[in-house]
């Protein structure tokens, strides 16, 4: 049974701006090195390493070594969900005065991003709404793919949703979007869609973060497969 001390210990892991920044960076679903995370959060490598030790010991991150490099990533999808849920409880603060880079990065995250391994932001919400509108996704008492949705997903991503799934991760679940304040599609279905969008270069990552940009091919794919036009690309 979870105790008050357990809950306080978990909260303490995120009650530090550097550790919180590390976790938010890892919400892109990829593995990062300690050096990359140190540069991202603006701290010394030794400081980042100390924070990573705490986050790994606390169960929020896992690590693996490849040659001389040490990589870390979020422990699993449930940690990503926890972080995204906590983010929805906050009111995003204004960008620093005069920081065009901060304003641009914030706008890019709102347009489209990865939330661990599925699509989020305006792009993720638009895809989710389109799936609901076409009868592919049922959102009555929780998220569930309809029979038409199962067939559509199998055809689009080349994966049979009916096959046995490892672990207890649901096929479809709603994930409350912290920028849109509405739900987007998570779960294995959301992960497979995101993987397909990235593999087909319907979306591409912007820089080293988790913001993504819808490509020309992506606009065409959304029209062909969901019958929608999404205005979530940055202005040219």
The answer to whether the pTM exceeds 0.75 is no
Q: What is the pLDDT of residues 184-210, one digit of tens each?
A: 999 999 999 999 999 999 999 987 678
Q: Which residues pair with 213 in a beta bridge?
A: 204
Average pLDDT, stretch 147-158? 93
Between the alpha carbon of residue 28 and those of residues 14, 112, 194, the distances in Å are 17, 12, 11
pLDDT-derived band of residue 233, with 50, 70 and 90 as boundaries? low
pLDDT at site 87: 81
Residue 100 pLDDT class (50, 70, 90 cuts): very low
- Quick: pLDDT tens for 132-148: 999 999 998 889 999 99
The whole-number average pLDDT for the span 65-84 is: 86
74 φ, ψ (degrees, to nearest 5): -60, 145
Check pLDDT > 60 for residue 219.
yes
Does the pLDDT of residue 179 top 50, yes or no? Answer: yes
Residue 36, burial from CB neighbour count under 10 angstroms (0-12, 13-18, 19+): middle
Of 156 and 100, the one with more pLDDT = 156
- Sequence ranges of the domains in the chain: 4-75, 103-226
- SS3 of the chain: CCCHHHHHHHHHHHCCHHHHHHHHHHHHCCCEEHHHHHHHHCCCHHHHHHHHHHHHHCCCEEEEEECCEEEEEECCHHHHHHHHHHHHCCCCCCCCCCCHHHHHHHHHHHHCEEECCEEEHHHHHHHHHHHHHCCCEECCCCCEECHHHHHHHHHHHCCCCCCCCCCCCCCCEEEECCCCCCEEEEHHHHHHHHHHHHHCCCEEECCCCCEEEECHHHHHHHHHHHCCCCCCCCCC
> For residues 217 and 24, what is the distance between their CA atoms, to the nearest angstrom?
29
Which pLDDT belongs to residue 210? 81
Tokens of 152: 């559509």
Task: Report pLDDT digits (tens) over 3-39.
Answer: 999 899 999 999 999 999 999 889 888 889 999 999 9
* CATH of segment(s) 4-75: 1.10.10.10
Q: Which residue has the higher pLDDT, 2 or 97?
A: 2
């Amino acid at each position: 049974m979870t105790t008050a001390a357990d809950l306080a210990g978990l909260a303490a892991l995120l009650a530090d701006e550097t550790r919180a920044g590390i976790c938010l960076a890892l919400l892109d679903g990829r593995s990062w090195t300690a050096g990359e995370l140190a540069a991202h959060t603006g701290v010394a490598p030794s400081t980042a390493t100390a924070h990573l030790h705490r986050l790994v010991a606390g169960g929020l991150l896992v690590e693996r070594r490849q040659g001389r490099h040490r990589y870390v990533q979020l422990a699993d999808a449930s940690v990503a969900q926890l972080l995204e849920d906590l983010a929805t409880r906050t009111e995003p603060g204004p960008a620093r005065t005069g920081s065009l880079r901060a304003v641009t990065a914030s706008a890019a995250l709102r347009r489209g991003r990865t939330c661990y391994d599925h699509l989020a932001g305006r792009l993720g919400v638009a895809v989710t709404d389109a799936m609901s509108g076409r009868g592919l996704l049922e959102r009555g008492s929780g998220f569930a793919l309809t029979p038409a949705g199962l067939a559509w997903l199998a055809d689009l991503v080349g994966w049979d949703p009916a096959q046995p799934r490892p672990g207890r991760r649901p096929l479809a679940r709603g994930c409350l979007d912290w920028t849109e304040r509405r739900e987007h599609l998570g779960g294995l279905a959301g992960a497979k869609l995101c993987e397909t969008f990235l593999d087909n270069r319907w979306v591409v990552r912007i820089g080293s973060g988790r913001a993504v940009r819808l490509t020309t091919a992506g606009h065409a794919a959304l029209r062909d497969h969901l019958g929608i036009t999404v205005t979530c690309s940055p202005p040219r």
